Amino acid sequence: MDSLKGIKIARMKWVRNPDLGNAVFDFSSDDGRDGWKMRSGDLAEVFTRSKRSNFNPRTEYFIGTAEVGEGRFDDDRTGVVESPTFTLEKADYVLFVSGGNDLQSLYIAIVDAQTGEELARHTGKQDNALEPVQVDCSASIGTDVFIRIVDKATGGWGHINFGGMYEGPMKDPMKLFDD
């Protein structure tokens, strides 16, 4: 309608979120959090249960490099956290990532445990809501790897959040949702 002056309305439909496979590390259990280590830095702790923002984690616990407890945060804290080593068994995985956007100083990496080579690196989008990032690991099936969480940034959005790694639903990211 001309009276809408350029506003257009599109037909939309509801889609369900894709079903993810098993968690690589079950952050809801002590065993799933066991073995994660702070390799350097001054982070308050490795895992948090913070509710100060719209993190929307899939489990009660997640890693948030700025979280200092009691609804407070400190973007001037830095550190490196690493997971225990595990073997990539699937072609696709989904990482839940949020926080500042700085691929050089704030990131989650999948690292080859033998060579130290990063197989994938992802950063946040200047938002605290944990977002799924699909990672193609098809060329690395059978490789022993670990997750490295790096926060070398300070100041506003100087933090990274990690909500876990899950077996991916399928290879084609365009098919994450039903038609």
Number of folded domains that form the chain = 1
As a whole number of angstroms, the distance between CA 70 and CA 68 comes to 7
Domain, as residue range, for 165: 23-169
Is 13 within the bounds of a domain? no
As a whole number of angstroms, the distance between CA 79 and CA 83 comes to 14
Given this model, what pLDDT does residue 178 score? 46
* Residue 8: CB atoms within 10 Å: 6
**Six token digits for residue 165:** 């790694």
Is 142 within the bounds of a domain? yes
CATH number for 108: 2.60.120.430
The one-digit pLDDT tens for each residue of the chain (179 residues) are: 556 566 566 676 665 556 789 999 999 999 999 999 999 999 999 999 999 999 999 999 999 999 998 889 999 999 999 999 999 999 999 999 999 999 999 999 999 999 999 999 999 999 999 999 999 999 999 999 999 999 999 999 999 999 999 998 754 544 444 44
Is 45 within the bounds of a domain? yes
Is 160 within the bounds of a domain? yes
Is 1 within the bounds of a domain? no
H/E stretch holding 102 reads none
Given this model, what pLDDT does residue 11 score? 72
Is 127 within the bounds of a domain? yes
